[in-house]
């Protein structure tokens, strides 16, 4: 009777453990920024997947962990529909908008949680340690069994992050496990080899070997095991130290010859409900010009001390060709100094009524300009996937724009000084596989034009910045970010935020202002392993996971391991 009564709590614990794991992992990301959670957060999930008596399937266990991780991580998404309804803060804007916002959070979180579920299924079925080998085998057998399962689990995790970032409506790769290390300046330097997704390999490997070591010690204490080895966990820590050593070497390397680009970042801080009305607003043009003149205007016969002024995404109230006044406005502004101006705008042309989200670089005059069209559009924000098919077609009236993606990944060319500009618009700065296509072996800097105003005063701004900084490390190019509302900042090629615009008293980044600074650009742009080969490590991990599944499916072992 007592045995029967003890089962429900044990089964309940099997459902609670993945929820605890997802909650712990959330603590590693902006708002809490507790790095220890990256290393320990998977342990409860592994207890649910690799425990002796677990009730839910690996898929369900992983899905529960994914929901517990992504729902709190994506709460900021709800503001997008609220902004469409006119929201400027947390005040209630109507049941429909609030429900749609909550639905967007749950829907996106559920989609992302499927990749946790896929990992849980794989780890339970193909990477679960054999108890006899792990607890009773010789130290060599036990170590190899632990490393086999841990390496497979770590590779599968990286593979699932890659799939999440690339599949189904161009993917959504934010907040992979490696991003949780964003405050660890030493370890994140490895991203120039394996990308931010490759960084996720280390925490999973450490957690898995640590769990197996803990199981051995508990079994010894209970008298149900005989093996005491800790070699697998030691080897995982050695790999961690190798990564740290590489990072220390990167941080202490002598700087190569550099160019200095004196840059001014402008943050107009226009509420999104005002910015998307797309009608002439003289006060917004005056605000942009006033903030620019503060530092870029030549005075008393002295030349301008700014080389490049950057305005954020969709800075112009009306698209570039929408007003005849744009040409005299820019000509007059550019005549005030010897600076160039890069601004975000929308461009509509006669042969393409859908238009583009664009970045335009003016040098000297309105006529002397270069245009770049955004390549990676935001689904359900800048275009409607399957827009002619129900139920997606029902959303057409709710989508603020339906744009055409650009195709060029040619950098913009700044003439004074001669530096290539990698233009990343909106959340393109979180997509490494796109950013690397702009890289050339020459002096280059990354320029992100963005607007996080859709998400009001939420954690979205810090989350976006934490994900974006890895592009600077992966490509070893310094980055500047000019936002309408968000985190306007300078980031060096080591991923360190060196300057950011904020209120000096409250620390809030939701301010109108401008941020001057110097960007030091290496004259010979390094072609990192990631810049040359992209997500090679993630694809290698995916290939390993697929090979294991196919081998077990078509060439099963004569004596398969118990699941």
pLDDT digits (tens, 9 = 90+) for 399-448: 656 788 999 999 999 999 999 999 999 999 999 999 999 999 999 999 99
Burial of 319-333, coded b for 16+ CB within 10 Å and e otherwise, reads bbebeeebeebbeeb
Query: Which residue bears the tokens 């042309």?
Result: 349
pLDDT at 189: 98
Most confident of 12-21, 367-376, 399-408: 367-376
Please tell me the CATH code under which domain 258-523 is placed. Answer: 3.60.110.10
More confident residue, 5 or 81: 81
Question: Could you tell me which residues are beta bridge partners of residue 422?
Answer: 446
For the record, the structure tokens of 395 come out as 């959303």
Inter-CA distances, 545 with 119, 163, 202, 552, Å? 10, 12, 17, 11
Q: Going by DSSP bridges, is the β-strand pair 352-363/369-373 parallel, antiparallel, or unpaired?
A: antiparallel
Which of the residue ranges 162-166, 280-284, 357-361, 449-453 would you say has the lowest mean pLDDT? 280-284
Report the Cα 196 to chain-centroid distance in Å. 9
pLDDT at 1: 43
Which of the residue ranges 66-75, 182-191, 354-363, 381-390 would you say has the lowest mean pLDDT? 381-390
486 contacts 461 by C-beta, under 8 angstroms: yes
pLDDT in tens, 242-297: 999 999 999 999 878 999 999 999 999 998 888 777 778 899 999 999 999 999 99
pLDDT at 3: 45
Element (H, E) at 124: helix 95-126
Inter-CA distances, 400 with 81, 84, 87, 377, Å? 10, 8, 15, 13
The pTM of the full predicted model, rounded to 2 decimals, is: 0.94
Strand order in the sheet with 340-349: 369-373, 352-363, 340-349, 308-310, 258-267, 513-522
pLDDT at 399: 61
pLDDT band for 398, please (50, 70, 90 cuts).
low
More confident residue, 478 or 386: 478
pLDDT in tens, 448-465: 999 998 899 999 999 999
**How far apart, in whole angstroms, are the C-alpha atoms of residue 401 and residue 100?**
18
């Amino acid at each position: 009777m007592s045995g029967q009564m003890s089962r429900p709590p044990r089964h309940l614990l099997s459902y609670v453990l993945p929820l605890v794991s997802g909650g712990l992992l959330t603590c590693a990301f902006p708002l809490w920024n507790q790095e220890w959670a990256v290393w320990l957060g998977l342990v409860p999930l592994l207890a649910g997947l690799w425990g002796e008596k677990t009730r839910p399937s690996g898929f369900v266990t992983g899905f529960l962990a994914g929901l517990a991780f992504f729902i709190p991580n994506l709460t900021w998404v709800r503001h997008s529909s609220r902004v469409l309804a006119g929201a400027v803060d947390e005040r209630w804007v109507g049941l429909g908008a609030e429900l749609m916002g909550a639905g967007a959070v749950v829907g996106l979180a559920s989609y992302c949680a499927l990749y946790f579920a896929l990992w849980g299924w794989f780890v339970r079925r193909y990477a679960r340690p054999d108890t006899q080998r792990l607890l009773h085998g010789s130290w060599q057998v036990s170590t190899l069994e632990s490393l086999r399962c841990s390496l497979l689990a770590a590779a599968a995790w990286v593979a699932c992050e890659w799939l999440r970032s690339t599949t189904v409506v161009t993917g959504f790769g934010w907040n992979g496990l490696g991003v949780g290390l964003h405050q660890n300046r030493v370890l994140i330097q490895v991203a120039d080899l394996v990308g931010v997704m490759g960084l996720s390999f280390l925490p999973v490997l450490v957690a898995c070997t640590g769990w197996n070591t803990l199981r051995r010690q508990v079994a010894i204490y209970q008298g149900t095991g005989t093996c005491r080895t800790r070699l697998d966990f030691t080897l995982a820590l050695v790999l961690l130290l190798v990564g740290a050593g590489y990072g220390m070497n990167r941080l202490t390397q002598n700087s190569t010859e550099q160019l200095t680009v004196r840059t001014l970042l402008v943050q107009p801080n226009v509420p999104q409900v005002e910015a998307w009305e797309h009608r002439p607003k003289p006060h917004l043009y005056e605000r942009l010009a006033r903030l620019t003149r503060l530092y870029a205007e030549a005075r008393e016969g002295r030349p301008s001390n700014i080389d490049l002024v950057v305005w954020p995404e969709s800075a112009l109230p009306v698209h570039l060709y929408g007003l005849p006044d744009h040409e005299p406005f820019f000509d007059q502004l550019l005549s005030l100094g010897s600076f160039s101006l890069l601004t975000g705008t929308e461009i509509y042309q006669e042969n393409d009524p859908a238009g583009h989200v664009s970045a335009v670089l003016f040098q000297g005059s309105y006529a002397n300009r270069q245009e770049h069209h955004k390549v990676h559009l935001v689904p359900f924000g800048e275009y409607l996937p399957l827009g002619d098919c129900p139920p997606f077609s029902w959303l057409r009236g709710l989508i603020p724009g339906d744009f055409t993606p650009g195709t060029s990944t040619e950098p913009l060319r700044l003439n004074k000084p001669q530096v290539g500009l990698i233009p990343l618009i909106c959340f393109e700065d979180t997509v490494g596989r796109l950013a690397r296509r702009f890289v050339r072996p020459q002096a280059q800097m990354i320029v992100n034009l963005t607007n996080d105003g859709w998400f009001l005063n939420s954690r979205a701004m810090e989350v976006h910045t934490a994900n974006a900084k890895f592009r600077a490390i992966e490509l070893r190019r310094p980055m500047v970010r000019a936002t309408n509302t968000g985190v306007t900042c300078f980031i060096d090629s080591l991923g360190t935020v060196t300057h950011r615009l904020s209120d000096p008293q409250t620390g809030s980044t939701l301010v109108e202002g401008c941020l001057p600074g110097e960007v030091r650009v290496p004259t010979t742009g390094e072609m990192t392993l990631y810049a040359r080969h992209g997500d090679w490590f993630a694809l290698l991990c995916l290939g390993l996971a697929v090979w294991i599944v196919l081998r077990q499916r078509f060439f099963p072992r004569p004596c398969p391991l118990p699941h």
